[in-house]
């Protein structure tokens, strides 16, 4: 067991109840420790030890959004990096406005599918619920524009992922079509990105997490299982990928 495994970073998540367990299991698989606190009264104490904050607009309500803002404020005061998953911003103005509010206060990474990020840029965006519509925008172009507009690293995920910083844009290919059909894969990726932000070489680790999820999808699809079991298999493979990396170091 290496030092990082012994000192797993604590990731505070305000995420959708629909995918909470999947996100928690994914964070554990890649060496983190999830905390799903929804109580703002304890956030000051949480961020004395938390090393990343993950905010997710899934199942948004006024009450949940207030919790997100409280978590963001505590994270910013503590200097803790923040991931925003802009779930469904192509679906409604409510979600878009809430994402805009969080972005204006400051985040480290913006993550969404091409429809969600395009909507935040004010571009025509056809979302299918919380899923991407049939968009023709190149992911790398959208990621670059969002990075420049919002001043943060941007990850646009889908059949091809794009990771943009002010310095460079990386494209990650591969994966399985089943990653786009299984519930919660975007939420899972955001949890992985939060773990990536606890490393010193953040952009490199963010790109690696995108790659790991695609590789895990490729391996998991080899098993003839239903979507719920597929997600669990993806997490299992992520754990094996992480362990293999730890053994190489």
Q: State the Cα–Cα distance between residues 88 and 44, nearest whole angstrom.
A: 29
Give the pLDDT confidence score for residue 4 in this predicted structure.
57
Tallying the residues shown for the chain, one arrives at 249
Question: Residues 220, 36, 217, CA angle at the centre, nearest 5°?
Answer: 10
3-class secondary structure, 216 = helix
Q: What is the chain's pLDDT, residue by residue, as a tens digit (249 residues)? A: 455 555 899 999 999 999 999 999 999 999 999 999 999 999 999 999 999 999 999 999 999 999 999 999 999 999 999 999 999 999 999 999 999 999 999 999 999 999 999 999 999 876 555 445 455 789 999 999 999 999 999 999 999 999 999 999 999 999 999 998 899 999 999 999 999 999 999 999 999 999 999 999 999 999 877 777 999 999 999 999 999 999 886
**pLDDT score at 135:** 58
| DSSP at 9 | P
Of 200, 188, 127, residue with least CA distance to 155: 188
Q: Which CATH architecture has domain 3-248?
A: 3-Layer(aba) Sandwich (3.40)
- At 5 the pLDDT is 55
């Amino acid at each position: 067991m290496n030092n990082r495994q012994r000192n797993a970073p604590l990731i505070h998540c305000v995420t959708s109840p629909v995918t909470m367990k999947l996100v928690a299991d994914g964070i554990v698989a890649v060496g983190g420790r999830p905390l799903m606190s929804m109580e703002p009264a304890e956030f000051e104490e949480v961020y004395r030890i938390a090393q990343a904050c993950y905010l997710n607009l899934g199942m948004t309500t006024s009450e949940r959004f207030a919790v997100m803002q409280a978590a963001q404020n505590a994270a910013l005061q503590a200097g803790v990096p923040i991931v925003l998953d802009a779930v469904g911003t192509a679906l409604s103005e409510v979600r878009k406005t809430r994402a805009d509010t969080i972005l204006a206060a400051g985040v480290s990474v913006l993550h969404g599918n091409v429809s969600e990020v395009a909507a935040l840029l004010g571009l025509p965006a056809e979302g299918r619920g919380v899923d991407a519509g049939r968009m023709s925008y190149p992911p790398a172009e959208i990621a670059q524009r969002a990075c420049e507009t919002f001043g943060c690293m941007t990850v646009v995920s889908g059949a091809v992922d794009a990771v943009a910083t002010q310095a460079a844009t990386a494209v990650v290919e591969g994966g399985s079509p089943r990653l786009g059909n299984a519930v919660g894969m975007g939420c899972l990726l955001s949890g992985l990105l939060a773990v990536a932000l606890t490393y010193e070489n953040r952009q490199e680790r963010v790109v690696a997490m995108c790659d790991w999820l695609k590789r895990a999808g490729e391996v998991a699809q080899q098993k003839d299982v239903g979507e719920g079991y597929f997600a669990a298999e993806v997490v299992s493979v992520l754990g094996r990928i992480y362990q293999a990396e730890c053994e190489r170091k």
